Structure 1
Amino acid sequence: MSKLTLEQKLFHDKLDVEAGRANLSRYFLIPNCNQILTCFKDIWSQDAGISTFVYATWSGRIAYHMSKSWYVQAAATEVNNTIFFQNGWNWNTNTASGAAGIGEIAYQRGFDQTAYPSTYEFLGYYNSSAKTTSERVTTSSGSSWKAAQHTGGMSGIFFSGQQYIWRKDHGTTRNPHSMALGIYGGAGTDFQSYAPIKAEAYLGAFVQAPFKSHPLDTYGIQLHWTKLGPLQTRFLADANKASGGDGRPPSAAHLVADIHARVSLLPNVALEPSVQYAINPNTYYAPMTAKHPHDIVEVGATLFIYLDKIMGFPP
């Protein structure tokens, strides 16, 4: 279960109120990349505490549309790191670590308004969850580990945007599936030194419908830079030392360059392949190791089968 909410629109649909089980990535920092494997935001997930798109938590949101393009919205959601090990039907909050509050101002124009759509979002967040970090201390009998809890929560800001800049038809139509070029990007920072991710930025470009016979295909490139927080960098060095390594700290910043695509194989079946080259990777997800990772090439793909459309469900 990824979404189950009650929604009410008021004042000629200018005001939108919604509450229930949902993921705030449906409404905030809307993915502006053209490929799911490369469209990640580490600050959003690791610092703000918003779970992966398909997982739902208790949430509430209110949005007000000042015009057809401009709107403001705010929301609150449960932060629960154990949601990844559940199936969507466990609705209690016993394992929640806190709550996150988000507010943003945004601008969006689609193909219904212009031949050159654009989306821009600027938001701030606060995650009340206490952040626990592991710190190494030296005792008379050697080294040991203790958990240090920072109760101040985490807060930060993030900006993202997407803009179509060129069309083969020079904007004479609003066809969303004609050949066009778009650019996108984003950047953010967390204000606390104990945050896992201190700063992040990405920039990319994509071309859609380069082949007339495949109007739904897109091809793109992207650079994604991430910087770890100072306590997280120190922890990875200490964990490496405790595991028998040399204790050398990893580079706080790492860069991922990639090329990717979305290719329609059959009606309602699509493949999203990507090739990524990671520079200065770290052991964030596997800290207890004596090894230091090297630059690496990663190849991946996601297969999409739209069962709802195949079975004729209404949109």
Structure 2
Amino acid sequence: MSRFSRNTLCLLVAASLAAPAFAASSSPQGGLPDGVDLTLDLVGNVASNPVGGVEQGTEGSYWVMAQSKLDLDTLWGIHNTDIDAQWAWFAGRNLAREKIGNSISAQQTWRPVAGGRLTRLTLRHRFDNGLSIIAGRAPVNSYFNSSALNCVFMSNAMCLTPYGAITDLGITAYPNASWAGIVRYDVNERWYAQAGAFDYNNDLNKAGKNGLDFSVGEGTGTITAYEVGYQTSVANDRLPRTYRLGMYRNSDGGKSSYYDANGNSAALTGRPTAVQDGARAGGYAMADQTVWRGEGKRNLALFARAYVNTGNEAPIDTFFSAGFVKTGTFPGREQDTLAMFVSNTHFSDEQIDFLRDRRTRNGGSGAPHADEIIAELSYGWAVHKGIRLMPNLQYVINPDPIYAPTRTTDIPDALIVGLRVDIHFAQLFGW
């Protein structure tokens, strides 16, 4: 276990144990002003692979997120208008990259660029006819192909966004934000349609930018997203459900997974992969369906996710996942969850050919498997109001070797033992 991983684990355990006592002993400060909603969350992940991978070890990562929502109607009488500002700090190391060698992180809190970042700054206006408009700095995945069920897990295959679109299309994903405009129309309390346009500028995600580069017109493309959906709640449906169907398009064509600029194997020539003309595009579908409800919040929900690449060649052809979430587990544990998912990521022929040629160049032979299967079983323990511990087991079949560049044989299947800690300070202190 690295020193950072030990420190992360100690920090998470200490915070989860100390927070309830601190909350109880804190003197009441009174509620926030009407129209002000503050959120402060700490989410940490620790993951270890006792079996499989390139090598065994333990890594940890965490983020701290602060968010302020201001209802301008309540505060200053600006009708149906609100501001949403969000900031986050990231730190840690990635078990998948450091020990296993694959590209799908077992830790949803890990990000390639550490440090602080402005993750959202938007202004929303809601008209009286069901139409709403959002403008400002925003990530695509906070508004499209999103579900609360995605993050009852720790694996990045599901949380925050089902895998595929970020890798293939480069959609801006939390914590990375860009200039954006979103239009949504709620037909009624169940049906809606929305569309968004987002500036694509990958340089904004580099270290030192911190989400504060507000430059305009320097991107290499525009991401457009479209979604229609049907959703219900406990207020209007005995068995609430959510169905979404959507697509993304990035006018930046991306890079080939296999060819260099001369049309040869980039893995064999050592040259960069070639820039592609055209556009990247993909479609997705998701479904959440409650199939049983008991007393209070007890319920059982099933879910499924699908992503298909429909544009330029990209590393991933398809992604599918399915699973369940049981809320309310044992007597007296109405807030606990038991959840499981299984996913299959199918890599493109070009991506597999690149990995095959890279293996050959290093003295190996054969190609890695095109299908990477990941499963996770998690138990969410509601320790205290605002605090949740989530031990989990993950299993990776056919780990891709994208971050094991000198590997000459298949990476052994990996068993991952994880712990996720969520502390929601607003709930803890009753803000």
Structures share fold, TM-score greater than 0.5: yes
Whether the 8 Å contact between 1:162 and 1:183 is mirrored in structure 2 is yes
Trace 1:190-205 onto structure 2 (pairs within 5 A). Answer: 190-192=309-311, 194-205=313-324
* Aligned residue number for residue 172 of structure 1: none
Residues 8 and 193 of structure 1: CA distance in aligned 2, closer, same or farther (over 3 Å) = closer
Whole-angstrom distance in 1 between the partners of 2:214 and 2:420: 29
Residues 79 and 301 of structure 1: CA distance in aligned 2, closer, same or farther (over 3 Å) = farther
Instruction: Determine what percentage of the aligned residue pairs are the same residue.
Output: 25
* Aligned residue number for residue 107 of structure 1: 230
Determine which structure has the larger strand proportion and give its number: 1
Trace 1:124-135 onto structure 2 (pairs within 5 A). Answer: 124-133=247-256, 134-135=258-259
The counterpart of 1:160, out of the listed 280, 286, 291, is 286
Whole-angstrom distance in 2 between the partners of 1:109 and 1:98: 35
Shift of 1:193: 5.8
Letter in 2 for 1:164: T
* Aligned residue number for residue 271 of structure 1: 389
Shift of 1:108: 0.7
Trace 1:111-150 onto structure 2 (pairs within 5 A). Answer: 111-133=234-256, 134-135=258-259, 137=264, 143-150=269-276
* Aligned residue number for residue 30 of structure 1: 146
TM-score by length of 1: 0.87
Shift of 1:228: 0.6
Q: Alignment length, in residue pairs?
A: 302
Structure 1 runs not aligned, ≥5 long: 170-174
Higher relative contact order (CA 8 A, sep 6+): 2
Structure 2 runs not aligned, ≥5 long: 1-117
Letter in 2 for 1:267: K
Letter in 1 for 2:119: S
Whether the 8 Å contact between 1:34 and 1:220 is mirrored in structure 2 is no
Quick check: 1:17 aligned with 2:133? yes
Trace 1:1-315 onto structure 2 (pairs within 5 A). Answer: 1-12=118-129, 14-31=130-147, 32-38=149-155, 39-40=158-159, 41-82=162-203, 83=205, 85=207, 86-92=209-215, 96-133=219-256, 134-135=258-259, 137=264, 143-169=269-295, 175=296, 177=297, 179-192=298-311, 194-242=313-361, 244-313=362-431
Q: Considering only aligned residues, what root-mean-square deviation do their CA atoms show, in Å?
A: 2.4
Shift of 1:194: 1.6
Whether the 8 Å contact between 1:42 and 1:197 is mirrored in structure 2 is no
Whether the 8 Å contact between 1:162 and 1:182 is mirrored in structure 2 is yes
TM-score by length of 2: 0.65
Whole-angstrom distance in 1 between the partners of 2:216 and 2:421: 33
Whether the 8 Å contact between 2:278 and 2:312 is mirrored in structure 1 is no
After superposition, the C-alpha distances for 1:71-107 in whole angstroms (9 at most, x for unaligned) are 0000011234452644332333687442211111101
Determine which structure has the larger helix proportion and give its number: 2
Letter in 1 for 2:319: E
Shift of 1:245: 3.5
Whole-angstrom distance in 1 between the partners of 2:289 and 2:220: 37
SS of the residue aligned with 1:284? coil
Letter in 1 for 2:336: D
Whether the 8 Å contact between 2:365 and 2:409 is mirrored in structure 1 is no
